Amino acid sequence: MRKIKYKTPEELKILTDKNRAETHALIKKLKKKKPKELDDFIHELHIDAFSEFSCLDCANCCKTIGPRLTDKDIDRLAKHLKMKPSEFLEQYVKTDEDNDFVFREHPCPFLLPDNYCMVYENRPKACREYPHTDRKHFYQILTLSFKNCETCPVVYEIFEEMKTKKW
């Protein structure tokens, strides 16, 4: 895989748009074929990418999209901040158009200026799992992951690498 370089969400959007038709065609093919080797291929790229690229040099996800919050996340974060869950909800949380709990603001209120997460040990489940490129049955989240190409430079490069293989 090409060396991962930091790209802004604006740069990623332009690159993703440029390759959109080609990527759609690949996704369609992979969803139909569900190749057995897809997970191993993606997981290896995920390990390679994150062993050489640090999220501390990026934080695009924390700056622009933010996680969906579960009740457990809210309880854990409130405890971490020594607040009541109701106070935490009032100060930091709103509901989005799908009625999910999300942070009121972007960048995330817990993102520090050096891109460290202030609540790292107790961060939301969705933050732990992002960008999902180590997930099993990756063919099921191809469309969702394609959206993440506009945010995450690692996901963008993984999709580009997927195109170099004959499926």
| Interface with ligand SF4 (CB under 6 A) | 55, 58-62, 66-67, 108, 110-111, 117, 119, 123-124, 127, 130-131, 151-154
Shortest gap between Cβ of 54 and ligand SF4 (angstroms)? 8
Which residue lies nearer to ligand SF4 by CB, 101 or 130?
Answer: 130
Least distance (Å) from ligand SF4 to the CB of residue 29?
A: 25
Q: Of the two residues 31 and 52, which places its CB atom closer to ligand SF4 in the complex?
A: 52
**Which CB atom, from 26 or from 154, has the smaller least distance to ligand SF4?**
154
- Based on the number of CB atoms within 10 Å of its own CB, is 153 exposed (0-12), middle (13-18) or buried (19 or more)? buried
What residue type is 5 in one-letter code?
A: K
CB of 61 to ligand SF4, least distance (A): 3
Q: Which is nearer to ligand SF4, 11 or 35 (CB)?
A: 11
User: Could you tell me which residues come within 8 angstroms of residue 71 by beta carbon, excluding any fewer than 6 positions away?
Assistant: none
Residue 102 Cβ, how far from ligand SF4 at the closest point, in Å? 10
